[in-house]
Amino acid sequence: MMKSAGLIIIVSFLALGLFAPDFAPNSPLALNLKHRLEGPSKTYPLGTDNLGRCLLSRIIFGARMTLGTALLTQMIALIIGISIGLLSGYRGSRLDFLLMRVVDLTLAFPSLILALVIISLLGPGLNNAMIAYALVHWAYYARLVRGLVIEIKGRQFIEAARALGAGPLHMILRHYLPNILSPILVLAPLDIGRVIFALSGLSFLGLGAQPPDPEWGAMLSEGRPLFTTAPHLMLFPGLAILITVMGFNLIGEGLIQERRGVSKFQDKPMAP
Amino acid sequence: MFSYFGKRLLFLIPLWLGISLIAFFFLQLTPGDPAEILLRKEGIEPTPEALQSLRRELGLEDAFYIQYGRWLWKVIQLDFGTSYRTGESVAKEIFRRLPATLELTSVAFLFIVILALSIGLLSTLREHRTFDRIGLILAIIGASIPGFWLGLLLIYLFSVKLGWFPVMGRAGLSYIVLPAITLGFGAAVTQARLLRTSLTEVLRKDFITVARAKGLSQARILLRHALPNGLLPLLTTLGMVLGRLLAGAVIVETVFAWPGIGRMAIEAILQRDYPIIQAYVLLTATIFVFVNLCVDVGYRLLDPRIELDSQ
């Protein structure tokens, strides 16, 4: 039940983002100074912002931007994390020790705070925020993958493949990778909500997406000074974040329930 | 026991040194030459000769480990250098701002404990009934609502519309209510759910049946027998909650113009005041690591079965 509800939400938002130009009634960036801060109307279903831009169109294009950047960031983090984890677990010994100390160190910081530090070096901007968060987020996956690799290391099919003379690359790609992938794929959607939080939070703080980009966090921050007179400017972007993150959380929760056979809504099992 | 504690502490030293190395390198990586910044601040034209003599004076031409050692020695004495922007001591700024953040996080933590306990216990008593369902829905919302939006909603509803609480700032007891709720809400409702799950598991154990057979009251069974056991899993997530509070404080302090170190960090990042950022990171990571250590040790004290596995 939970999983399908989550899937419906996410698929709709993905479709909204993918086909944003078809769904959006207006351009997300076109200014119309004659229609500033208006309430809902036929031309502007959710009203307009302080520059007369269509709020609904900005939310719809925001789905593209917010979801797109979160998915990309998660992909980068997954690729780095899985590669390092595989390498560390497979090679073992000194390299493993070294890589795992780097992981320990990365996880020793609250992730948003370490991302803030990296952004302060790179400078504000959406790309830099994505890089910064990916550079923090990979560590959790690296530790997880490394643990999984070590767990299956002694299994018979691994020994058999080795005995047949499989090289390191073949071992990693054909034997280790497919066997560690499923638990990772269960955790990944749960985690995208976290990535959306982080990126939109950074944009809200003025360190991620910059105006006039239609990113939900940045839109909230733009609407914030006006929110006593035009509450719809902060209501809808926030609602969009809430529903999307909820969608991912429901999918993740559903997957966990399926695997354990019990309901266990709890804090995400990962380092902060 | 003591060997466990000792080992755990020993692990901490290299970890903290690593953290300090990151903080040290951070300032090395920042654009701009400290000597040049200092000269410009004094109003002196940074000629190559002046730069070189100042660099030598400041020890910027020494080997990296000597510079690191010197820096570390200062940090241990709580000397974090001077702010690029104000020229004042960073430590002074930090200690001026820290109480506000400690106040906010402690009140938020208190809010989490109270709310998590009450919702968790009530959901257990009303398992699969309306209240339990509300708890589940709250937990799902709590895990999905962005803090900055929740803060704005609360301000709009309780400050602007109802006028119950001040909009922002820190000038009295009523000012902390909304920021603390914003900061704690997500963790409170998810922890409540965690407590409910672990309590219902404990209530199925044999010793509870024994307690029931002895004719103890439902309240006594729940509070004296089930709760202490049911709280254990929550303890492990305490470190996670703290990480959330520290990171969340950055956002909540910005929304409510709360004058703590989180807002200080954001201001410093926007103004490129790197020494402040460096001190902030070092401080938060130190607190974070230290609390995680306390959580581990506390957990071990409560449940001696836990061994330190080979990490």
- Given a contact cutoff of 8 angstroms between Cβ atoms, the answer to whether B129 and B121 are in contact is no
Q: Is A204 within 8 Å of B148 when comparing Cβ atoms?
A: yes
Alpha-helix residue ranges (DSSP H) falling in A123-231: 126-153, 156-163, 168-170, 177-204, 216-223
Q: What's residue B1's pLDDT?
A: 58
Judge whether B46 is closer than 8 Å to chain A, CB to CB: no
Shortest Cα–Cα distance, B7 to chain A (Å): 16
Going by C-alpha positions, the residue among B55, B49, B65, B50 that lies closest to residue B33 is B55
Which pair of structure tokens corresponds to residue B248?
A: 């969340």
Query: Can you point out the beta strands (E) in B61-151?
Result: none
Distance CA B30, CA A39 (A): 46
How many angstroms separate the CA atoms of A66 and B2, rounded?
A: 49
Query: How many Å apart are CA B274 and CA B269, to the nearest integer?
Result: 7
Res A262: pLDDT: 45
Better-scored residue on pLDDT, B253 or A158:
B253
**Residue A166, pLDDT score:** 82
- DSSP states along A3-32: HHHHHHHHHHHHHHHHTHHHH-SS-SS---
| A110 CB-near residues (< 8 Å, 6+ apart) | A272, B243, B244, B246, B247, B284, B285, B288
- Average per-residue pLDDT in chain A? 85
SS3 A182: helix
Cα B58 to Cα B62, B76, B84, distances in angstroms:
9, 19, 16
- Is the pLDDT reported for residue A270 higher than 50? no
CA B287 to chain centre: 7
pLDDT, position B63? 80
Between A270 and B243, the higher pLDDT residue: B243
pLDDT of residue A260: 66
pLDDT of residue A265: 44
Nearest to A224 by CA among B186, B178, B256: B256
Render pLDDT for A74-131 as a digit per residue (tens, 0 to 9): 999 999 999 999 999 888 889 999 999 999 999 888 888 899 999 988 888 999 999 9
CB contact (8 A) between residue A242 and residue B266: no
The amino acid sitting at B279 is: A
Is the minimum CB–CB distance between B160 and chain A shorter than 8 Å?
yes
**Contact call for residues A213 and A65 (beta carbons, < 8 A):** yes
Helix, strand and coil content of chain A, in percent to the nearest 5, comes to 75, 0, 25
Within chain B, which residues score under 70 in pLDDT? 1-2, 305-311
| Amino acid, res. A174 | R
Q: What count of CB pairs under 8 Å joins A to B?
A: 153
B-chain residues within 8 Å CB-CB of A272? 239-240, 242-244, 247
pLDDT at residue number B103: 92
- The pLDDT of residue B259: 92
Whether chain B has a CB inside 8 Å of the CB on A264: the answer is: yes
